[in-house]
Structure 1
Amino acid sequence: MFCYEALCYNCKKVFKVYEGSPKYKLVKEKKTKYFCCEDCDHKIRMEAIKNFFR
């Protein structure tokens, strides 16, 4: 199974993106410069949902 390593722009940790995941194609083709790990992605999503209902 192939994987790429990317740097999370939020927590600055290196995380692996495995083949078959939704972010794999983005990391492989480097369509964007900024990547976010699953933990930070979940935190950001929950914070956005909380602020939406205010």
Structure 2
Amino acid sequence: MIYYKTVCTCCRETFKIIEGTKKYEFYKRNMKGKFVCETCGNKIYLEARKSLISKL
């Protein structure tokens, strides 16, 4: 199993990006990009969804 270790931009903890995921493909294209771990990604998604629903 191939993976890369990178640092989450939100919580500053290291996490693994596993081969075969979309995040892995994005990482291969742009290794200097900003990436978030699963927990922070879920928090961001839920907060954006809540904000969108409150505007409707």
Residues 1:27 and 2:15 aligned together: no
Normalized per residue, which structure has more helix? 2
CA offset digits 1:10-54 (Å, max 9, x no partner):
000100000011100111232652001111000000000101111
SS of the counterpart of 2:49?
A: helix
Identity of aligned residues (%): 37
Aligned residue pairs, count: 54
| Range moving further from structure 2, 32-41 or 42-51 | 32-41
Q: CA RMSD in A?
A: 1.3
Partner residue in 1 for 2:44: 44
Q: Which runs of 5+ in 2 are unaligned?
A: none
Tell me which moved more, 44-53 or 30-39. 30-39
Normalised to the residue count of structure 1, the TM-score between the two structures is: 0.89
TM normalised by structure 2 equals: 0.86
